[in-house]
Each structure stands twice: as C-alpha cells, then as structure tokens.
Structure 1
C-alpha cells in the first residue's frame, strides 16, 4: 500500500487525531518526520496512545526540536540544520501514515516548504479540514495548493460539528472525495476515537 500523508489546513485542526484513527484503522505504521515542541506529549506519543499501536509501529522522528514553532524557526533556535535528504520516508512492511508539521505552506527550512517535501514524495494526501466558519476558504486554498504541485488527493477528512453545506461546498468546488467527519470528542480516548471513526468514515478509497 502506498504511504498516506496526513496534512491539514492549519495547526491544531485535528490532524494528529485523524492520523491516529487512520493508523489504527489501516493497521499502519506512523511517522512524524519533524516534531517541533517537546514540553507536552509529542504527536508520536499521542498517536501511539490513541491508536493503540505497538511501539515498533511508531517510527522515530528524523528531527525532534524543543521549540514549539514552525520547523524552520525551531531548528534555528535549537541550533539544528534540517537536511531535507534525511526526510525520505522509511521503508516498512505494510501501510504507513505520515503526518506533516502544521499546514501545507509551513517552512521546513528557509528554502523548503512542507508541501515541497510532499511533492517530492508524490504520495496521496488526506487533507484534514474544519467544518467551522472559515473552513471553506482554508480547505479550498489547501486543495488548490496540492493540485498545483500535482500531489494526489486521497480525500478530505473533516473535523468538527456537522455542517453539511460546508462539506458539500468544499467537495463541489474541489472535486475532492469526502472521507468522513470526526466530531469533537470529550473525552478523547482510544475507545471513543475508534467508535467515532468507524461510524463517520469510509476508508475504502484509501485501500
């Protein structure tokens, strides 16, 4: 199975939670190439907990940066030089879910954007988008950016309250497949995530 890239319209959109749900549903390995911010639980730790993955299925990050900032700035503040050639995906036996840092146009270095790395790989992307106000604009801009770099779009995963018009409008203007919607979960546990994902998503197109 071709690796899948989980990306988002913005930081904090719910990308890590969706990546965890995808990894669990697909029985996949998970990889976060660059982690910026180590004071709280890392995305890899969150995914391992929510997806219930065995430790060997959570691959080590290529870069772990202390500062919670855009990777290019976090690396500079930490005295680290990010080498893009070190960000080639590892080979695994089976599916692989790769989670990018922040949104598509977040800089990895002063010369390379996150989306440039995705274009280099050429793997299909799942865009995580909000259903809240502003979600249409953010999602359509992100989908246009993916198309401009000829990155395959596996579909859109929505997060938030049910807003059928927002979802339908994004699908109509972009032509992207709607994979499903994940409501805000309280509490957010492996059990509630698994149940909500099973009820709200169709991942057959990803297989």
Structure 2
C-alpha cells in the first residue's frame, strides 16, 4: 500500500495525519520536498511522533525558504521537475506527504497534483473545518477526478458541523473511504499511537 497525503490547503494537519497513517499502516514515510523549517522538518516530526522504529526516506529537495517550492527553489537557483522523483524502494507500506494543496507550484509549469500523477499512487485528502473549507474540498476532489487520480481516503481532521460534513461526504464517490480524526490536545507518540488504534473508517 502506497498513499500520497495532500490537503485542501496549508496548515490543515497533513503531517499529524501522516504520522497517524504511518503508525496505522506500519509504513515507511517520505517527504519528497521540504520547503523551510529545516531545523524541525516534517520528517523530524514523524520520527518524534511515530517513534524510533519508523523509517523515513530522505527528501529529494531540502529548501531553506518557507514558501511554495517553486519560490524556494528559485531563491537557490534550483529547477524542480516531476521527473526528479521516483518512489523509494521498500517492502513496507509507504506514506508520502506533499507540500500544501494540490495546486501548490513546483515550478511555473508543474504542481503537486502533477507529482501525484507521476508517482501514480492513491491519495488521502486532509480536510479541516474553516470558512471556505467546503469550496476548497470540492474543488480538490474535482481536480483529482479530472486527472483520474484515485481518492482513496478523505480525512476529516478535527470537529465539523454536521451540515459541512454532510455536503462534503455527499460529494464523494462510493470508492472513497472517510476517516475521522479528533483534535489532539497534545502531539506526542502516545497520542498518535492511541488515535491510530481507533481510526474510524466509514
């Protein structure tokens, strides 16, 4: 099982959800592009939250500026292409975490959604409740369908009003499973493991 974790935007909890999925599937983890926060990268967070046994494959790009990859790369005179990436070899399950949402640019011509298409693996789309999240979610689902990318899981991260949840879930096709993850008061190994044991897939 290989899975690409993306979000409907930035700061929706992709890394927390990736940690939970990594634990749940007993998977390896891979962050292809780290843009900024090199002192406390997403890979470092996964190691801290999942535990020492998790294997994290090295990033292809580690960029200094905390911005979209195309901007960070430009500052370092780097050109990113989806052809730079191939899935790491592993006999285990693999969780791949993207940067931001589907239309985050890697260059002036290519986006995260193009990277997903190149890697050719199913997607887990992380959704968090905020004003505008319905619009962002449905547009993301439409973009995946347009590219014929398999939306394997939709992750409702945190609490949602019933009306919001209903509209989002009614828009999905029957082959997409829904995972509900509660808000975590504290991000640590114990809580990540606890949630991974109680994942509710509908």
TM-score using structure 2 length: 0.92
Alignment of structure 1 residues 65-144 onto 2, 5 Å: 65-144=63-142
1:131 is displaced (CA, Å) by 2.7
Unaligned ranges ≥5, structure 2: none
Q: In 1, distance between residues paired with 2:70 and 2:148? A: 24
- Secondary structure of the 2:15 match is helix
Residues 1-207 of structure 1 mapped to structure 2, 5 A cutoff = 1=1, 3-54=2-53, 57-175=55-173, 177-202=176-201
* Contact in 1 for aligned 2:102/2:113 (Cα 8 Å): yes
Secondary structure, in 3 states, of the residue corresponding to 1:46? helix
Determine which structure has greater relative contact order: mean sequence separation of CA pairs < 8 Å that are 6+ residues apart, divided by chain length: 2
Q: Cα distance, 1:178 vs. partner?
A: 4.2
Which piece of structure 1 moves more, 62-71 or 178-187? Answer: 178-187
Deviations 1:61-98 (A, max 9, x none): 00000000000000011222224322111111110100
TM-score, reference length from structure 1: 0.90
Give 1:174 deviation, angstroms.
2.5
Aligned positions, number: 201
Q: Which moved more, 1:124-133 or 1:102-111?
A: 124-133
More helix by share: 1
